[in-house]
Amino acid sequence: MPRWLYRYATGRPLDGRTGYPYLTRGAGRWPGWRRQLLRFGVPAAAGITAAEPREAAAVAGVLAAGAAWRSRRRWVRRRFRRAYIAPTLAALEVPLGGVRVRLHVDPGLGTLMPRLAKPPSPAEEAARRWYGEHLEPVLRWPGDRAMRAWWTLQRTCKPVTKRLEVFRRPGREYGPRIELTAATPYLTREQRQLISSIVGAKVPAGELVEVWDQVGAEVTARWTVRRRPPTAVGIDALLEHLPRLHEWEFFLGLGTGGAPIVLSLRDDSPHIAVSAGSGAGKSVLAQLVAVQVLARGGRVIILDRKGSHRWALGLAGVDYCVKPAQMHDALVRAAAVADQRNSDAMHEDDDWDPGPRTLVIAEELNATIGMLATYWADTRAKNEPKRSPAITAIGELLFMGRSAKYNVLAIAQMLTARAIGGPEARENFGVRCLARYTTNAWKMLVPEAGMPRASRTLGRWQIVIGGVATECQVAFLTRAQARAIAAPAAVSPGGLDSSLSRDVPGDGDKITLREASDLGVIPWTYEAAKKRLQRDRAGAPKPCGQRGPSDLYRREDLAAWAARSSTPIHEGADAA
């Protein structure tokens, strides 16, 4: 009898079974505190009813209201349970062999609720319209006022609650999730894989992160929504993190939760492989690494036949090669310098600095290798080797670049082994960046890493290091910002100096219309300025030269033209 009374008072099963915790359900239907509440609440309610009928009626009314609210909630979710939870539990009976399973699915996951939505009939639309116009404003008014009062109380108490935050233990905030609990201490790998496939097929909630916990008497699986990086990263994030990095570290962008993604050319890999489809932002990623090299006093060699890096024209420390002959000479010189640095390092200490870092950017490497081979076949003498010295130089840089501080950033849509000089040369790329990739490209470059779904967000990359893929939103810089950051004086703890944003090297006081828009000389976007030039032919400034296909204008003429245009025209109107 004492044991029975103890179990009754503490909410434990009366027959002495274990596995029924107090706060959670465990193996039972109710947690211990609910059983305890029921065991004490029913006798208490009966006594109050016998002694005080009026108070008992009030309590019964409150309980009836709570039961009605709970019943309505269950009624609303009945289709959800019938469509997702019940079929999933039925399918899980086979792999689990009759083990008791609890399944929780948040309706807010993906498109679960919209999948169940049905188009309303005209009568239902009319009823909902009448409800929204006549009843809903009245019913929402008390709730809105109560919420406003609660917000006012929170603002009043914020000075005190903010100080008390230091005593609060952080809890686990999973957000919308699918949670499965099996009353068994262990599940094999095959069982877990089968359960994952069943849940993914029966509950189509999109791309989720799966976590298994087999510690304890029960096995718990949890599928949560994959947290994404921000949709856009700009110069502010770069200026915030750049002064904190070492000379061999480079900021690429922000990852999940706004965490900075930093690449180390000393610890991770001396060379970077970039593979992406057309328009994915390969040149933007290369520009971001290049400006950080230049900001620290390094040099950049750009092999770019199509002119994707016009931001680097005329910058100090940049060797821009657009012709095969220029590429050939630059690569041969770079390999000779790297070889000399390695020879000098043999007689120096381990921490000897060979000199400024040099980054070699090879745009569209598949086509570049072909151009170098063709150029050498046309120009070589009979006594010279058949293999292009420039292609040999690329291979030498890949194998000896770390100690000589020569790094290669190879860009290609499909970075095949033949394009880079063989499988052994491609293995020197320990850092591989992919965007808008295909299944073939992923399996060819990073077969050891699981392939996530390719994102359609511009600037969203997968940075794969050591077989681990990290999603990253790469920072985007405008042409003016890139040229300003490339100056070594631009990097300071205080950020980018305001004068540098306008100090973009060019042809003296002659700038193009796009540069004037980027620098703020004219208060319109480039497209809007083009429209104004077409409309205001009498008062618009006249070109004073040409740089490639773009017209050059005097800076003071553009500024005076912008000052004369007193009537503001919005971009939307210009576009129209």
Last residue of a domain, one of 395, 422, 444: 444
For 481, other C-beta atoms within 10 Å of its C-beta total: 24
Q: Give yes or no: residues 511 and 416 share one domain.
A: no
Asked if 390 and 292 sit in the same domain, the reply is yes
Look at residues 16, 41, 76 and tell me which one is the last residue of a structural domain. Answer: 76
Q: Which helix (H) or strand (E) holds 301?
A: strand 299-303
Nearest partner of 430 among 413, 410, 453, judged by Cα: 410
Print the domain residue range for 322: 270-444
Point out the domain boundary residue: 42, 59, 76: 76
pTM beyond cutoff 0.85? no
3-class secondary structure, 343: helix
Question: What whole-number distance in Å separates Cα of residue 531 and Cα of residue 575?
Answer: 8
The answer to whether the CB of 513 falls within 8 A of the CB of 533 is: yes
pLDDT confidence of residue 572: 37
Task: Verify that 438 and 511 share a domain, yes or no.
Answer: no
Order of strands, edge to edge, in the sheet holding 208-213?
A: 101-105, 177-182, 219-225, 208-213
Question: In sequence order, what are the beta bridge partners of 468?
Answer: 465
Whether residue 511 sits in one domain with residue 379? no
DSSP-based three-state secondary structure for 497: coil
pLDDT at residue 146 in the model: 93
Q: Would 8 be classed as within a structural domain? A: yes
CB 322 within 8 A of CB 361: no
432 & 512 share domain: no
CA–CA distances in Å: residue 12 to residues 8, 17, 19, 39, 176: 6, 8, 10, 11, 31
H helices of 26-180, in order, are 32-51, 53-76, 78-80, 86-96, 112-116, 122-130, 136-164
- Token representation of residue 437: 């990739």
The CATH number given to whatever domain includes residue 536 is 1.10.1660
Contact 461, 437 (CB under 8 A): no
Q: Which residues pair with 359 in a beta bridge?
A: 300, 407
Check the CA dihedral 107-108-111-114 and report its sign: positive
Whether residue 543 sits in one domain with residue 426: no
Residue 318 lies in a domain: yes
- How does DSSP classify residue 504? -
Q: Are residues 416 and 550 in the same domain?
A: no
Return the biggest CA–CA distance within the chain. 117
- Phi, psi angle pair for 375, to nearest 5°: -60, -45
Q: What is the pLDDT of residue 488?
A: 58
Residue 414 lies in a domain: yes
* Integer angstrom CA distances of residue 357 from 427, 490, 573: 22, 18, 48
Contact between 306 and 364 under an 8 Å Cβ cutoff? The reply is: yes
First to last CA, the chain: 88
Residue 219 located in a structural domain: no
Quote the number of domains for the chain: 3
> Which of 12, 14, 30, 32 is closest to 22 using CA atoms?
32
For residues 416 and 520, state if they share a domain: no
Beta sheet of 545-547, edge-to-edge order? 510-512, 550-554, 545-547
- Residue 428 sits in the same domain as residue 279: yes
pLDDT at 213: 92
The reply to whether 521 and 439 lie within a common domain is no
**What's the pLDDT score for residue 212?**
92
Regarding whether 523 and 420 lie in a shared domain, the answer is no
Buried b (16+ CB within 10 A) or exposed e, 269-305: bbbbbbbbeeebbbbbbbbbbbbbbbbbebbbbbbbe
What is the structure's pLDDT at 247?
86
Within 8 A by CB and 6+ apart from 180, the residues are 92, 101, 102, 103, 104, 195, 199, 220, 221, 222
Q: Residue 567: what pLDDT?
A: 43
The H or E element containing residue 276 is strand 272-276
For residues 394 and 321, the answer to whether their CB atoms sit within 8 Å is no
In a domain, 564, yes or no: yes
CATH of the domain at 396: 3.40.50.300
Side chain identity at residue 196, one-letter code? S
Q: Is residue 467 part of a domain?
A: no
Q: Are residues 440 and 510 in the same domain?
A: no
| Average pLDDT of adjacent 10-residue blocks, the chain of 576 residues | 87 79 73 85 79 77 83 83 91 86 87 83 92 89 92 92 84 79 91 91 84 90 85 87 88 88 85 83 89 90 85 85 89 88 79 84 84 87 86 82 82 68 70 87 84 82 87 88 74 41 44 75 81 81 78 82 59 37
Query: Within its chain, how far is the Cα of 420 from the centroid?
Result: 29
Q: Is residue 94 part of a domain?
A: no
268 vs 195: CA distance, rounded Å: 36
In a domain, 470, yes or no: no
